[in-house]
Structure 1
Amino acid sequence: MRRPGNAAAAAVVALVGVLGLGACAQIPTSGPVRVGNAPVETQVDIALLPQGPVPGTDPQTLVSGFLQATSAAATSPKEFQTAKEFLTTDVAQTWEPEEAVRVVREEPMPEPFEDEIELGSTDTVEIVVRATTIATVDSVGAYTEAVSPREAPYKFTVVKVGGEWRISALDNGVLVPANLFSSSYRATRLYFPSASDIKTLVPDLRWFPRRAWQTVAVKEILAGPPEWLQGATQTLVPEGTRLQSPSVPGRNDADSVAIRLSEQISSVQAAQRAVIAAQFSATLSEGAGRVIPVELYSDQSRLSVDAAEVDLPATIAQAIVLKDGDLYRVDDGRLAEHDMTVDLSGIDPTALAVSPSTTPTVVRDGTDQIVNLSLDEGEGPVPILEGTDLAAPSVDKFGNTWTSGGQGELQVSTDTLDVVKIEPEWLSGRRVVSVSVSPEGARIAVVSETPSGRQVQVAGVVRDAQHTPVSLAPALTVAAPVADTVEARWGGLTTLALLTRDSEDTSTVWTSGVGGQASTGGQSRQLPGLTDVEQIAAGVNDHGILVVTKDGDLEHEETGVWQPIAEDVDLASYPG
Structure 2
Amino acid sequence: MRRGTNLVAAAVTLACVVSLGACAQIPTSGPVRVGTEDVETQVDIAMLPQGPSLGADPNAIVLGFLGAAVAATTSPKEFQTAREFLTDEAVDTWDPEASVRVVREPPVPEPTETTAELGDADTVEIAVQATAIATLDSAGAYTEVGDPRKLDYRFTLTRAGGEWRISALDNGVLVPANLFANQYRATRLFFPAEGDIESLVPDLRWFPRQEWRRMAVEELLAGPPEWLQGATQSLVPEGTQLASPSISDTDDGEPVAVRLSEQISAVSADHRAVITEQISATLSEGAGRPVSVDLFSETNRLGVEETDVDLPATTAPAMALKDGRLYLIEDGRAVEHELPVDLSGIDPTALAVSPVTTPIVVRDGTDQIVSISSDGQSEPVPILQGPDLAAPSIDNLGTTWTSGGVGELKVYTTALEEFTVEPDWLKGRKVVSVSVAPEGSRIAIVSKTPTGTQVQVAGIVRDNQGTPVDLAKTPLAVGAPVGDVVEARWSGLTTLALLTRDDEGTSGVWTAGVGGSTGAGGQSRQLPGLTDVEQIAAGVTDEGILVVTKDGDLEHEETGVWQPVTEDVDLVAYPG
Distance of 2:181 and 2:37 partners within structure 1:
17
Kept after mapping to 1: 8 A contact 2:185/2:286: no
Which residue number in structure 2 is paired with residue 508 of structure 1? 508
C-alpha distance in structure 1 between counterparts of 2:290 and 2:99, whole Å: 32
Please state how far the C-alpha of 1:158 moved relative to its aligned partner.
0.2
1:317-466 map, 5 Å? 317-378=316-377, 380-466=379-465
- Where does residue 228 of structure 2 map in the other structure? 229
Q: Give the superposition deviation at 1:451.
A: 3.9
Aligned to 2:125: 126
Aligned counterpart, 2:568: 568
Give the secondary-structure state (helix, strand or coil) at the position aligned to 1:311: coil
Amino acid at match of 1:399: G
Deviation at 1:253, TM superposition (A): 7.0
Secondary structure of the structure 1 residue equivalent to 2:276? helix
CA offset at residue 560 of structure 1? 2.2
For residues 269 and 253 of structure 1, the distance between their equivalents in structure 2, rounded to whole angstroms, comes to: 31
Q: 1:216 to 1:199 in 2, by over 3 A?
A: same
CA separation of 1:289/1:524 partners in 2, compared to 1, >3 Å: closer, same or farther? closer
For structure 2, the residue ranges without an aligned partner over 5 or more in a row are 1-26
Identify the residue that residue 193 of structure 2 maps to in structure 1. 194
> What does 1:5-44 correspond to in 2, within 5 Å?
33-44=32-43
- C-alpha offsets along residues 227-268 of structure 1, whole Å, 9 cap, x if unaligned? 000010000000000001011112437611000000000000
Whole-angstrom distance in 1 between the partners of 2:116 and 2:53:
22
Aligned-partner Cα distance in 2 for 1:33–1:556: 14
Note the C-alpha offset of 1:286.
2.0
Instruction: State the alpha-carbon separation in 2 of the partners of residues 462 and 404 from structure 1.
Output: 17
Conserved 8 A contact 1:314-1:440: yes
Matched with 1:11 is none
Q: Distance in 2 between matches of 1:151 and 1:545?
A: 35
1:150: Cα distance to partner? 1.1
**In the alignment, what sits opposite 1:494?**
494
What residue identity is the alignment partner of 2:558?
E
- 1:35 is displaced (CA, Å) by 2.4
Q: TM-score, normalised by structure 2?
A: 0.93
Query: Secondary structure of the residue that 1:150 maps to in structure 2?
Result: strand
For 1:503 and 1:258, locate their aligned partners in 2 and report how far apart those are by CA, in whole Å: 56
Q: CA deviation at 1:399?
A: 0.6
Aligned-residue CA RMSD (Å): 1.6
5+ long unaligned stretches in structure 1:
1-26
Deviations 1:183-216 (A, max 9, x none): 0001000000011210010000000000010000
Q: Secondary structure at the match of 2:97?
A: helix
Change (3 A) 1:117 1:469: farther
How far 1:33 sits from its partner (Å)? 4.6
How far did 1:116 drift?
Answer: 12
Q: Deviations over 1:10-38 (max 9, x none)?
A: xxxxxxxxxxxxxxxxx9x99x5522242
> How far apart are residue 287 of structure 1 and its match?
5.8
Q: Deviations over 1:150-200 (max 9, x none)?
A: 111100000011111111110000001111111000100000001121001
**Does the 8 Å contact 1:33/1:562 carry over to 2?**
no
Which secondary structure state, in structure 2, belongs to the residue aligned with residue 187 of structure 1?
strand
Sort the Cα spacing of 1:188 and 1:289 in 2 relative to 1 into closer, same or farther, 3 A.
closer
Structure 2 partner of 1:177: 176
Q: Which amino acid aligns with 1:74?
A: T
Counterpart Cα distance in 2 of 1:424 and 1:377: 36
Amino acid at match of 2:342: D
Partner SS, residue 519 of structure 2:
helix
Which residue number in structure 2 is paired with residue 204 of structure 1?
Answer: 203
Aligned-pair distance for 1:88?
0.8
Looking at structure 1, the residues matched to 418 and 402 of structure 2 have their Cα atoms a distance apart, in angstroms, of: 11
**3-state SS, counterpart of residue 98 of structure 1:** coil
3-state SS in 2 of match to 1:180: helix
> Could you tell me which amino acid in structure 2 is paired with residue 89 of structure 1?
D
Contact map agreement 2:510 2:527 (CA 8 A) in 1: yes
Equivalent pair of 1:348/1:366 in contact (CA under 8 Å): yes
CA distance in 1 between counterparts of 2:320 and 2:32 reads: 21
Counterpart amino acid of residue 445 in structure 2: V
Find the aligned partners of 1:86 and 1:71 in 2 and give their Cα distance: 14
SS at match of 2:366: coil
User: Which secondary structure state, in structure 2, belongs to the residue aligned with residue 456 of structure 1?
Assistant: strand
Contact 1:489–1:539 (CA under 8 A) maintained in structure 2 = yes
Letter in 1 for 2:313: A
Q: Is the Cα contact below 8 Å between 1:251 and 1:284 reproduced in 2?
A: no
**Aligned-partner Cα distance in 1 for 2:106–2:377:** 67
Native 8 Å contact 2:128 2:153 kept in 1: yes
CA distances 1:264-301 after superposition (whole Å, capped 9, x unpaired): 00000111101101011011112645421100110111
2:11 corresponds in structure 1 to: none
The C-alpha deviation readout for 1:354-389, integer Å capped at 9, x for no partner, is 111111100000000000111123351111111111
Equivalent residue letter for 1:52:
G
Amino acid at match of 2:164: W
More displaced, 355-364 or 112-121? 112-121
Contact 2:492 2:540 in 1 (8 A): yes
Tell me, in whole angstroms, the C-alpha distance in 2 between the residues paired with 1:387 and 1:69. 58
SS of the counterpart of 1:200?
strand
- Per the alignment, residue 480 of structure 2 pairs with 480
1:450 Cα shift? 2.7
After TM superposition, give the deviation of residue 55 of structure 1 in Å: 1.4
Q: Distance in 2 between matches of 1:112 and 1:99?
A: 28
Superposed counterparts of 1:86-101, under 5 Å:
86-101=85-100
For 1:120 and 1:451, the matched residues in 2 are separated by 57
Report the CA distance between 1:521 and its aligned residue: 2.6
Give the C-alpha shift of residue 307 in structure 1: 1.9
SS at match of 1:40: coil
- Given that 1:394 and 1:435 are in contact with CA atoms closer than 8 Å, whether structure 2 keeps it comes out as yes
Q: Secondary structure at the match of 1:152?
A: strand
How far does residue 308 in structure 1 lie from its aligned partner after superposition? 1.8
Code of the aligned partner of 1:257 = V
- Could you say what secondary structure the match of 2:179 adopts? helix
1:531 counterpart letter in structure 2 = T
- Residue type at the aligned position of 2:135: T
1:68 corresponds to: 67
Offset, 1:120:
1.8
Is the CA contact 1:33–1:564 (under 8 Å) kept in the aligned structure 2?
no
8 Å CA contact retained: 2:186, 2:286: no
- Is 1:245–2:266 an aligned residue pair? no
